[in-house]
Structure 1
Amino acid sequence: MPQLNPGPWFFIMLTSWFTYTMIIQPKLLSFLSTNPPSNKMPVTTSTTPWTWPWT
């Protein structure tokens, strides 16, 4: 079965993962987050029930 031959595909997979982990990933991780998480507690607003005119 020729589809089980890992000949060219294994080298392509290793090359792409090496490129991702050594070149692309450090560049992506160096960016600062534009929306950092905050330690604030969420504010809950009190709502009033809707008064339906037909009740």
Structure 2
Amino acid sequence: MPQLNPNPWFYIMVTAWLTFSLIIQPKLLSFTTTNPPHNKTPTTTKISPWTWPWT
């Protein structure tokens, strides 16, 4: 069964993961978000029940 031969595929997988982990991921994580979250007190809204015209 040739699918079980890990010769070329294991090297490709390790190379891809190392490339992602060491090169691409730090570049992506260095970007700052355009809208950073901040501590804001949540406002409570008053919920009024809907008055149905047929009741």
Number of the residue aligned with 2:53: 53
Query: Across the two proteins, how many residue pairs are aligned to each other?
Result: 55
TM-score, with normalisation over the residues of structure 1? 0.87
CA-based RMSD: 1.0
Gaps (5+ residues) in structure 1?
none
Paired position in structure 2 for 1:19: 19
TM (normalized to structure 2)? 0.87
Percent of aligned positions that are identical = 71
| Runs of 4+ with >2 A deviation | none
